[in-house]
């Protein structure tokens, strides 16, 4: 085995271990762990550059398919096919196994108050993790208008019955006219 291959195997093993350790924390999906993935893979392990990390997420989110595809791209950018395979195995195996077991158990015990309370309590955790991911991926605010519009749309969707599709259409129209 050459030194390059040994480095690739070491990177694949490192990716597998990192994603394996994060898998059970991915409440709400792997995208909720973007900030932690960035800290570990870019800042600490240095298997990816900041640009490669952001590009992997942007490309995977733009492509159709499951939300977790960005993990495969992070692995690909780090160690090609072996990296993609080890990253996906690490993120999918524990959480998928646990999800299967727990969903079967919850299905038979959904009438329990403790089960309903746990499900209700996980909602703010998921929202918080998504906000942390968005904060990391958001570009620096140079103009307050897009931020204010986003907050207005979020408030409208949350507090009124205005259709989200109508607001998206309105945003597209305003963008096409050059107003936003």
CA-based end-to-end distance of the chain = 55
pTM: 0.58
**How crowded is residue 88: how many other Cβ atoms within 10 Å of its Cβ?**
21
Report pLDDT for 180: 64
Q: What is the residue extent of each domain of the chain?
A: 3-138, 140-180
pLDDT digits 0-9 by tens, 115-168 = 999 888 988 888 888 888 777 777 777 777 777 877 888 888 888 888 888 888
Q: With helix as H, strand as E and coil as C, how does 96-143 read?
A: HHHHHHHHHHHHHHCCCHHHHHHHHHHHHHHHHHHHHHHHHHCCCCCC
Supply the pLDDT for residue 7.
Answer: 53
Which residues, given as ranges, of the chain have pLDDT below 70?
1-7, 180
Output the pLDDT for position 3: 40
Give the DSSP letter string of 35-58: HHHHIIIIIIS-SS-HHHHHHHHH
For residue 129, the tally of other CB atoms under 10 A from its CB is 21
Pairwise CA distance, residues 49 & 41, whole Å = 9
Amino acid 136: pLDDT: 77
C-alpha 88/C-alpha 69 separation (Å) is 8
């Amino acid at each position: 085995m050459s030194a390059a291959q040994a480095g690739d195997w070491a990177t694949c093993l490192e990716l597998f271990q990192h994603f394996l350790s994060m898998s059970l924390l991915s409440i709400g999906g792997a995208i909720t762990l973007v900030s932690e993935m960035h800290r570990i893979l870019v800042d600490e392990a240095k298997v990816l550059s900041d640009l490669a990390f952001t590009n992997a997420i942007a490309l995977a989110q733009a492509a159709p398919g499951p939300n977790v595809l960005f993990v495969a791209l992070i692995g690909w950018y780090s160690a090609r096919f072996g990296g993609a395979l080890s990253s996906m195995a690490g993120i999918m195996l524990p959480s998928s196994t646990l999800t299967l077991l727990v969903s079967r158990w919850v299905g038979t015990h959904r009438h329990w108050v403790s089960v309903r309370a746990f499900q209700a309590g996980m909602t703010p955790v998921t929202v918080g993790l998504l906000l942390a991911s968005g904060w990391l991926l958001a570009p620096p605010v140079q103009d307050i208008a897009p931020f204010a519009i986003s907050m207005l749309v979020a408030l409208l969707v949350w507090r009124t019955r205005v259709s989200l599709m109508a607001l998206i259409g309105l945003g597209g129209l305003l963008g096409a006219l050059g107003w936003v």
